[in-house]
A and B are shown apart, each in its own frame.
Chain A
Amino acid sequence: MALLEVQNLGISFGGLRAVDDFNLKIEKGQLYGLIGPNGAGKTTVFNLLTGVYKPGMGIIKLDDQDITSKKNIEINEAGIARTFQNIRLFKELSVIDNVKVGLHNQYHYSTVTGILRLPKYKKIEKEMEEKALSLLEVFDLDKEKDTLASNLPYGKQRKLEIARALATNPKLLLLDEPAAGMNPNETKELMDTIRFVRDKFEMTILLIEHDMKLVSGICERLTVLNFGRVLCEGPTSEVLNNPEVIKAYLGE
């Protein structure tokens, strides 16, 4: 049973079919890559999966549960978390508070409890603090826990976004161009981090990436998107040697 199963997914903006007849199957624990030239519709697929856009047609199933056209927050609850192509951290919040916001869907106390600072408030806040710290330690961000997110260096902001997404306790993690803007050393470190996240949290990961070194280095399977349609799908080495794919990237 695949963790994520997408069938015939499609959406149009005006007359443009941004994504058409898109199919995808990801097994639990897989590191899966979604690649394709600029404007192929990769981020649109992410937006469809996370409920930012409502699909015009098709079915999205996570763990055999139909999540098509559900609200963002319900999809998050069902177990999909993501990062963004252009980092969207809460810049005015501290590093640890960013992660704590991600924990909100699992830790509950009422507003009144918070205002009156009842014992339950202290207990849960302490649990959240500890959980957030342990996540930050994984990403080597614990020393900067009180820094404002906007003051972190770029590479660490990317890591913090992954930590925040993991804090929501997902089954499937979507990474939108995690290596964008990184230098080769940072990219190499990121590859280790992604592998580490998969092993440590037994996470299933779907990522969009242009950096072919990263894609061929860590992804087990790939789907190639071109003009909103699936061009081909299969194990990484096969896909990258497919003449159709090379043509789409480099032209004739």
Chain B
Amino acid sequence: MKFISFLIDGINLGSVYAVIALGYTMVYGIAKMLNFAHGDVIMVGGFASFFATSAMGVNPLVSVLIAMVVCTILGIVIEELAYRPLRNAASSLAVLITAIGVSYFLQNTALLIFGSAPKQFNSVVNIPMLMLFDGRIKISGETMVTVISCIIIMVCLTLFIHKTKSGQAMLAVSEDKGAAKLMGINVNFTIGLTFAIGSGLAAIAGVLLCSTYPTLSPYTGSMPGIKAFVAAVFGGIGSIPGAFIGGLLLGIIEILSKAYISSQLSDAIVFGVLILVLMIKPTGILGKKLQEKV
């Protein structure tokens, strides 16, 4: 029974990682860049929701929408100001380093405005705990909401990318920007849209993360951001179901190793598993096969 409740905790954490990883993987898959600031957009989403509820007293669910709007705009602004000018840079390292810079910029701006003291985040979820087997297994409202929203997001994202015009344009841009432009696709708009959606998802992830682990500080997003990146690579970066599976597995491994092995070593184990997976399958669990040119 203990094992099952650990497993449930793992699925909860894993679903949060999965939502973050979906944003990572989408931006990578389409814009072909690693947005290392993604984790910090999560933190901004957390703060937006926090201030909407505590300072302005809005309904927690409305605060999620506010957080999404804030993060979506932030994502578009970051892309426009920091990444777009480097789109044609000779080396893809330029934009990678800029992304790390944006990450520190967001963290330190938050530090300046909100201070370093962690804030108590009130969960936006207002659903009673589910008791199973005479209360031996408890599933919190947060867990249910997190897992369900993660699945809904994944399904919607898949439908959006494969069944709508904007999604199709994204796939075309991801394959060949030059050809897409010549076929009348607005590449800048499409990449901006990718960042907007990725950042909107980051806001949801931020609220879910802070609801499950109710402290909020300027550094809240950085470690989950890195873990979610690992999850995305683990599942095969660029693949949406891969991010989902990678996130879930990562969360479960982390919680189980905290529970049964050592809580200090849990991060080492998580990254160790990543190294192992990449040694056996370099493109990740659901990654595309690398084509060998002969």
Contacts and interface: CB of A to CB of B under 8 A. Distances in A.
Contacts of B164: 111, 114-115, 121, 125
B176 interface: yes
Interface in B112-146: none
Interface in A71-94: 71-73, 76-77, 81-82, 84, 88-93
A84 B164 CA distance: 26
Contacts, number: 83
B169 interface: yes
B178 A92 contact: no
Contacts of B168: 93, 97, 100-101, 104
Interface in A98-138: 100-102, 104-105, 107, 109, 111, 114-115, 121, 124-125, 128
A160 B252 CA distance: 46
A92 B170 CA distance: 12
B1 interface: no
Contacts of A124: 165
Interface residues of A, number: 35
Contacts of B178: 52, 88
Contacts of B69: none
* B interface majority secondary structure: helix
B206 interface: no
A168 B175 contact: no
A97 B183 CA distance: 13
Given A90-B175, A92-B171, A111-B193, A72 B181 contact: yes
B167 A102 contact: no
A161 B187 CA distance: 19
A93 B182 contact: no
A164 B183 CA distance: 8
B180 interface: yes
B155 to A, nearest CB: 12
A32 to B, nearest CB: 20
Contacts of B160: 114-115
Contacts of B261: none
B186 interface: yes
A172 interface: no
A101 B183 contact: yes
B182 A90 contact: no
Interface in B156-211: 156, 160, 163-169, 171-172, 175-176, 178-187, 193
Nearest to A93: B171
Contact of A76 (B156, B167, B183): B183
B182 A111 contact: no
B191 to A, nearest CB: 13
A195 B10 CA distance: 64
B197 to A, nearest CB: 8
A115 B263 CA distance: 41
Contacts of B167: 114
Contacts of A77: 184
Nearest to B177: A72
Nearest to A167: B183
Given A90-B176, A115-B156, A81 B182 contact: yes
Contacts of B163: 114, 125
Contacts of A92: 171, 175
A91 B175 contact: yes
Contact of A105 (B166, B172, B184, B187): B184
A165 interface: yes
Contacts of A81: 182-183
A104 B185 contact: yes
A69 interface: no
A79 B188 CA distance: 21
A190 B183 CA distance: 22
Q: Which residue of A72, A91, A102, A128 has the most chain B CB atoms within 10 A of its CB atom?
A: A72
Given A93-B172, A111-B166, A114-B160, 8 more contacts: A52-B182, A73-B186, A97-B168, A101-B185, A104-B185, A114-B163, A114-B164, A165-B183
Interface of B: 156, 160, 163-169, 171-172, 175-176, 178-187, 193
Give me the 7 closest cross-chain CB pairs, A-B, nearest first.
A114-B164, A105-B184, A72-B181, A76-B184, A88-B179, A111-B166, A101-B172
22 contacts: A52-B182, A76-B183, A77-B184, A81-B182, A82-B182, A88-B176, A91-B175, A93-B175, A101-B168, A101-B185, A102-B184, A104-B168, A104-B183, A104-B185, A114-B163, A114-B164, A114-B167, A115-B156, A121-B164, A124-B165, A167-B183, A168-B183
